[in-house]
Structure 1
Amino acid sequence: MTAPLMVRARAFAREVLASAFSQRVTSVVTFLLVLGATATVLVTAGRNAGAQAAVLAQVDAAGTRSLTVYAQGVQPSFTSAIVPRLAAHDDVIAEVVGFGPVTDVTAAAIPVGTPVGMRTAYGTFSGRPLAPGEPVAGLTQTWATPAALDTLGMPQGRGSVRVTDQGRELLVTDRVTLPEHLEPIEPAVITPGDPATNEPLTSLVVIADRPEDLPLVTDLVTAALTDVPPDGLKIESSQAMADLRAVIGGKLTAQSRSIILGVLAAAAAASLVNVWSLALMRRRDFGRRRALGATRAMIVALMTGQVLVLAAAGATVGAAAGAGFLAASGDPIPTPTYLLALVVAFTTTTTLIAAIPATWAARRDPLSELRVP
């Protein structure tokens, strides 16, 4: 911005602020009007939006985006090689993990202890890539869940386990927590495997990026399993939960939208009346400015600029007050994006509405306005 433009911008800003201070009653009414409208939306629709986000966060858990494939008997074509092929569709698939056959293991130090199922896993497990680690003291590394460690009698989280029907030992080197959608296999010992070994799978779990991606993910998985006989696999999908998510989100969003539009319309109407009152009270002032050379655009900019400053301040304070009320009452607070959108919506609407009386005032004949008592 050039120096002359900066000077003119500063002069205009000072004029806008001076106009706002000179019309204290109208300015306070505009400020409180937008503040009250914004706070009202936050403690009504905003509370709903916060609750909606909390509900959908639960619904959007991996368990509602999952597709599980179970092998019905031995299927030679259902192997770990499918894992990287599906993982390549990372635009719609968040995670793929395949599990090999279950083998019972017990703590090596307690051969007659309670056995726990051990599975070789391929792919990504709870966001953690599965890759075989280097053997430690000649023993293959494996992981165990907290429940498995308690069952095995290894609360310290370290030790070796023995495969009951083979006699070979593995070393438990890490503790891992199962995500909600894998809790049915608890307690479990998980051994990371290399998909390139093309080992047989007994189950495959695919997590879609979003609930709405689940139908496409189902098609991708089905296409990747065309070599397996139809009666050789059982597919379970959380599509019903994804559909429920869409219904819940749609109803809550529609309700919040109705509240916001209603309050916004009421605030716009009240603002229109208030700003038109300002235009009527300042008719003589605007006539004098026009007679002295002020353009119509200048009059419109002066009035809308004044309303813009007051509306922005009122909406910001209203959003802060509403968020504070929700926090104090223990209700969920909407996201910062929601708060910002609300401030922008009320500021923009109030300013645009102000352009109607501002245009009316700018188009009045200056000589007629100067005769106003």
Structure 2
Amino acid sequence: MRPSALLREALTAAWASRIPTLLVSLVVAGMTFAALFTVGRQAAQEAQLLQELAGSSARTLTVTVSRTPGQIPYSSVPLLQELHHAESVIATDLPIDAVNGALGEGSSIAVTTVHGDLDQGIRLIEGRLPGPGEVIIPASSVQRLNLDLPAGYLQSAEGAQWSIVGAFTAQEPYEHLDAMALSAPEADSSTLDGSSLHQVRILADSTHQVRAVQAATLAIIGADPTSIQVDSAAAAADTTQRVTDQFAGFGRSLLLLILGAGAFFVAIVVLADVLIRRRDLGRRRTLGITRSELIALVALRTTAPALSGAVLGTLIAQLTLSAQNHTAPWEFSAATALLATLTATIASLTPATYAAHRDPVAIMRTA
């Protein structure tokens, strides 16, 4: 029998057997709804939790010189920027206090030279990024420095001056920059010995790569471990991984339980159907349909209502979750619906095989 004819015959048989078709559809709809309402909601909560736990603060590595200066050379910054899993790198020199140069007194602000991906660590509010001998100041410090606009200049106690060319706000995880005025390095700063480079902060691209980034960073810097302080989110990344693994394990177990229960009920419905319709199936066998074609016929007759039930269960589950301010990802929903349909199809194979291997002559005599 041609596949198209077999499919047409299966759909006709499914329409003719409305009660078994309806039961299979309802069982699969209930199975899909239960899976999405429990495992789907858990998947949504897991995604939300993972987003919170995998924020920039959980992907940050900070290395600070604590004792002997010169532990972090300038030349290490370009190498750190080339790390495959480093999303951004910002290093700062030892800050110098400065005041509003026009007043010569008042509130002071720490001035530091920034190396690395400054544009990824801040958001400019006014002006432009600084060049050598220039600074941008935090937007929150404009009034504190007795300025009407981010313009003018800063001056240190030693007489060094920096022109103010803009204002900024720091972005995660570089909030520490909001307390400092930021200057650009001199063109030849890469040739210096790094004695004044004070801190480097690196943002990994994922929590899974924090430990790898930490190991690579320490290897590149090559600092004396007793002279630096390392603040790493590796422990938080490990906790995130354990939590998500536990969520995923529980979700898989629950999903298998739901699918197993659904498969059991589908198998019962299909078995009852083939027993009730044994005369029709026996007649098909006597007319020449092969065992494999009969198995395919029963399986396709189950798949059609299973697919409609999976779609119905998905829609009801999504509407219910939306009413509760939860939304299972549509990719997960589609995969669950497909899995429920496949489960129903597989569950029908055992009753179909049983029906295909019965003696058609004996069935026609006794039915």
Gaps of 5+ in 1: none
My pick for the range that moved more, 135-144 or 205-214, is 135-144
Partner SS state of residue 186, structure 1: helix
Match of 1:187 in 2: 179
**2:202 corresponding residue in structure 1:** 206
RMSD of equivalent CA atoms: 3.0
Matches within 5 A, 1:134-153: 142-149=135-142, 151-152=144-145
For the residues of structure 2 that align with 1:39 and 1:155, how far apart are their CA atoms? Answer: 61
Aligned equivalent of 1:317, options 308, 312, 317: 312
Deviation of residue 295 (structure 1)?
Answer: 1.4
Is 1:264 aligned with 2:264? no
- CA drift of 1:262 comes to 1.4
When residues 367 and 69 of structure 1 are mapped into structure 2, their CA distance, relative to the original with a 3 A threshold, is same
TM-score (norm 2): 0.86
Partner of 2:168: 175
Deviations 1:106-127 (A, max 9, x none): 5566654533333322222474
Partner AA of 1:318 in structure 2:
G
One-letter amino acid of the counterpart of residue 99, structure 1 = T
Counterpart contact for 1:98–1:121, Cα < 8 Å: yes
Query: Alignment partner of 1:79: what SS?
Result: coil
Local SS of the residue matching 2:61: strand
1:59 to 53, 60, 69: 53
**What is the aligned partner in structure 2 of residue 94 from structure 1?**
87
Instruction: Indicate conservation of the 8 Å contact 2:170/2:178, yes or no.
Output: no
Q: Identify which of 105, 117, 120 aligns with 2:113.
A: 120
Partner of 1:299: 294
Of residues 207, 222, 225, the one that matches 2:218 is 222
Out of 189, 193, 197, the position equivalent to 1:197 is 189
Instruction: Give deviations 1:220-272, integer Å, cap 9, x for gaps.
Output: 1221122x333221111122212221222122222222221211111111111
Pairing 1:225-236 to 2, within 5 Å after superposition: 225-226=221-222, 228-236=223-231
CA distance in structure 1 between the partners assigned to 2:130 and 2:62 by the alignment = 36
* Kept after mapping to 2: 8 A contact 1:283/1:372: no
Give the % identical residues: 24
Structure 2 letter corresponding to 1:164: S
Is 2:245 the partner of 1:250? Answer: yes
Q: Does the aligned pair in 2 maintain the 1:103–1:118 contact within 8 Å?
A: yes
Matched to 2:357, the amino acid is R
Aligned length: 359
Is the contact made by 2:132 and 2:185 (CA closer than 8 Å) also made in structure 1? no
The corresponding residue for 2:280 is: 285
Distance 2:148 2:45 in 1: 39
In structure 2, relative to structure 1, the CA distance for the partners of 1:100 and 1:286 (3 Å cut) is same
CA shift at 1:37, angstroms? 1.4
Q: 1:104·1:118 contact (CA, 8 Å) conserved in 2? A: yes
Q: Does 1:83 align with 2:77?
A: yes
Between the aligned partners of 1:360 and 1:196, the Cα distance in structure 2 is: 83
Q: Secondary structure at the match of 2:170?
A: coil
- TM-score of the pair, normalised by structure 1: 0.85
Q: Distance in 1 between matches of 2:186 and 2:132?
A: 17
Is 1:329 aligned to residue 321 of structure 2? Answer: no
Judge which range, 76-85 or 25-34, deviates more.
76-85
How far apart in 2 are the matches of 1:173 and 1:185?
14
Taking structure 1 as reference, are residues 138 and 178 closer, same or farther at Cα in structure 2, changes over 3 Å only?
Answer: closer
SS of match in other structure, 2:70:
coil
CA distance in 1, matches of 2:137, 2:8: 69
Q: Does 1:33 align with 2:33?
A: no
Greater than 6 Å deviation, 4+ residue runs: 134-139
Q: Residue 15 of structure 1 corresponds to which residue in structure 2?
A: 9
* Displacement of 1:135: 8.9
Partner of 1:347: 341
1:117 and 1:62, CA in 2 relative to 1: closer, same or farther beyond 3 A? same
Q: Aligned pair in 2 of structure 1 residues 48, 81: CA closer, same or farther (>3 Å)?
A: same
Q: Summarize the Cα distance change of 1:245–1:300 in structure 2 as closer, same or farther, 3 Å threshold.
A: same
Q: Quick one: which of 163, 170, 173 aligns to 2:155?
A: 163
Shift in Å, 1:24: 0.8
- Cα distance in 2 for residues equivalent to 1:146 and 1:317: 54
Aligned-residue offset at 1:129: 10
> How far off is 1:290 after superposition?
1.5
Q: Which amino acid aligns with 1:361?
A: A
1:215 partner letter: R
Secondary structure of 1:119's aligned partner: strand
- Aligned-partner residue type, residue 64 of structure 1: A
User: How far did residue 139 of structure 1 move?
Assistant: 8.1
SS in 2 for 1:69: strand
Maintained 8 Å contact 2:122/2:169: no
Secondary structure at the counterpart of residue 202 of structure 1: strand
Task: Tell me whether 316-325 or 25-34 shows the greater mean CA deviation.
Answer: 316-325
The gaps in structure 2 that reach 5 residues or longer are none
